[in-house]
Amino acid sequence: MIDKRRRHRRLLTSVRFLVRSLDLRAWNFSLALLSVIVGVSVTAMALALRADVGRKMSQELRSYGPNLIVSPEVSGAVFASPPRMSDSQARAVDRVVSPAPWAPILYATCRMGSHGLTIVGIRFGDAEKSLFSYWSVEGAWPASSSRKTRAEEPCLLGSMLARRLKVRPGDVVRLDTGVSGHVPFKVSGVVRTGESEEEQVFVPMDTLREMTGLGTVTSVLVARLEGGPEAVEEAARRINAAGIGVEARPLRQVAHAEGRLLGKLDLMMTMLSGLIFVLSGLCVMTNLISVVVEREPEIALMRSLGAGDVEIVLMLLGEATLLGLAGGVLGYCVGVLNARLVGYQLFGAAVDPRPEVLPVVVGLAVILCWLGVLPPLRRALSIQPAAVLRGE
C-alpha cells in the first residue's frame, strides 16, 4: 500500500513538473513542435502519394496507349493470308482483361483509286477513344452510332496519307478491298501520331468485315491494363496459359516505362522523407537540449528536494511523448493537404486521404521525439545538485 501511494505521488509530481515546464517554456516547445510537424507532414504526404500515385500514374500514362497486344498464334506454316482471331477467342481474352479498356483491330488492304492502302477496322467507341487518346485528331472522332446510310459511313485518315491524297475532313473517299466494290466513306478527321498510323485509313469494324467477307474475326486485340508491368505480365501469362489459340505480349516500352517512373518516384519520396525526418529529429534534439541546459538549476533544485531519476525521466519523456502525439496529428493534417495540392498539380485530381497512414506517422513522430530526448535526458540525469546550486 505504501509503495502504491509512493508511485502515485511520484506520478502526480511528474505531471505537475510537466505542466509547469510547458507553461514556462511554451516558445521552446512550439519550435520543437514545428520541427516535428514539418518532418511528419512530408512523411505523411509521401505515404499518401505512394498509396494513391500508382493508380493516378496509370491513368496519366494512358496517353501512351495500350500496353498489351493479343494476336492469333502463328506456327511455322506459310499462310496465304494473315491468321485471324475469332469472336469467341476475343470474348475469352475479355474475361481476363476486363474491366480494363480493350479494342479489337482488323487489318486489311484496299485501294483508293490507283493507291494501295492499309485499311484498319476499329470500333469508334469510348474504349477506343480512351485507348488511342494519344492520337491527335484534326476534325472529329466518329461517333460509334454515326452510320445512317452507306454514303455517311465515317472514317479517319492518317495525316501523311491525307496530305499525299490531298484529302481533308469532310471529303468523301471511295475504298475497294476487291470483294465488295468501291465503298464511300466520309472523312471525319485526320490522325497525327508520328507512327505508322499516319499512313493508314480507319473505318468501322463491322463495315470492314462486310467489305472483306471475313465475318466475325479480327487481327489483333489491344488493351490498357492498370497496375504497372507486373499486372500486364500476369494478364499475358494467364491468356497464354488458357490454350485458346492466341498469343499475348506486353508492350514493354509502355509497361516498363510506367514501372520505372513509379519506382523512381517512390525512391525519391522515400529519400526526401528520410532526409526531412532526420533533420526534424536534429531540430527536436537541439531544442530539448537547450531546454535542459536552461532548466539545470530547476532540475538541481528538484533533485535536492527529493526528486529521483524516475521523476526526471517521466517528466522529459512525458514532454517528448506529448510533443510526438501533437506533432504527429498536426503533421498528418498538413501532409494530407500537401498531398491533395500535389495531386491537383500533377494529375489534376486530389490524392485521397489515407486514414491508415495516421497511426503510422503518429508512431514515427513519437519515436522521433523519444530518440531526440535521449541526449538531453542523459545530460539531465548527470546534473549534480550541489554544484549547480553553488553556480559551478
**pLDDT the model gives residue 66:** 77
Q: At 8, is the pLDDT very low, low, confident or very high (cuts 50, 70, 90)?
A: low
The percent of residues in the chain predicted with pLDDT above 90, rounded, is 6
Q: Is the pLDDT of residue 234 over 80?
A: yes
How far from the centroid of its chain's Cα atoms is residue 4's Cα?
55
Q: Which of 149-153, 286-290, 369-373 has the lowest mean pLDDT?
A: 149-153
Determine the average pLDDT of the residues in 69-93: 72
pLDDT (tens digit per residue) in 301-331: 767 766 667 777 777 787 788 888 888 888 8
Determine the average pLDDT of the residues in 276-284: 77
**pLDDT the model gives residue 19:** 61
Position of cell 535526458? 377
Q: Which of 17-31, 231-245, 376-390 is modeled with the greatest confidence?
A: 231-245
Mean pLDDT of the residues in the chain: 76
Determine the average pLDDT of the residues in 236-258: 76
**pLDDT the model gives residue 388:** 60
User: Is the model more confident about 50 or about 167?
Assistant: 167
DSSP SS3 for 224: coil
Could you give the CA distance from residue 158 to residue 139 in angstroms, rounded to a whole number? 12
Would you say 230 and 250 are in contact if contact means Cβ atoms under 8 Å apart? no
**pLDDT the model gives residue 389:** 61
pLDDT (tens digit per residue) in 27-50: 667 777 787 888 788 778 877 776
Could you give the CA distance from residue 285 to residue 298 in angstroms, rounded to a whole number? 20
Q: DSSP string spanning 260-279?
A: HHHHHHHHHHHHHHHHHHHH
Q: Which amino acid is at 203?
A: V
Q: At 203, is the pLDDT very low, low, confident or very high (cuts 50, 70, 90)?
A: very high
Position of cell 454514303? 151
**pLDDT the model gives residue 157:** 92
Q: Is the pLDDT of residue 254 over 60?
A: no
**pLDDT the model gives residue 347:** 60
**pLDDT the model gives residue 59:** 55
The percent of residues in the chain predicted with pLDDT above 70, rounded, is 74
Could you give the CA distance from residue 104 to residue 84 in angstroms, rounded to a whole number? 11
**pLDDT the model gives residue 148:** 47
Could you give the dihedral angle defined by the CA atoms of residues 359, 363, 365 and 370, in that order, rounded to the nearest 10 degrees? 160
Q: Is the pLDDT of residue 78 over 50?
A: no
Angle at 169 between CA 168 and CA 175, to 5 degrees: 80
Determine the average pLDDT of the residues in 260-275: 73
Q: Is the pLDDT of residue 17 over 70?
A: no
Full-model pTM: 0.53
Q: At 273, is the pLDDT very low, low, confident or very high (cuts 50, 70, 90)?
A: confident
Would you say 116 and 109 are in contact if contact means Cβ atoms under 8 Å apart? yes
**pLDDT the model gives residue 155:** 92
**pLDDT the model gives residue 52:** 66
**pLDDT the model gives residue 64:** 60
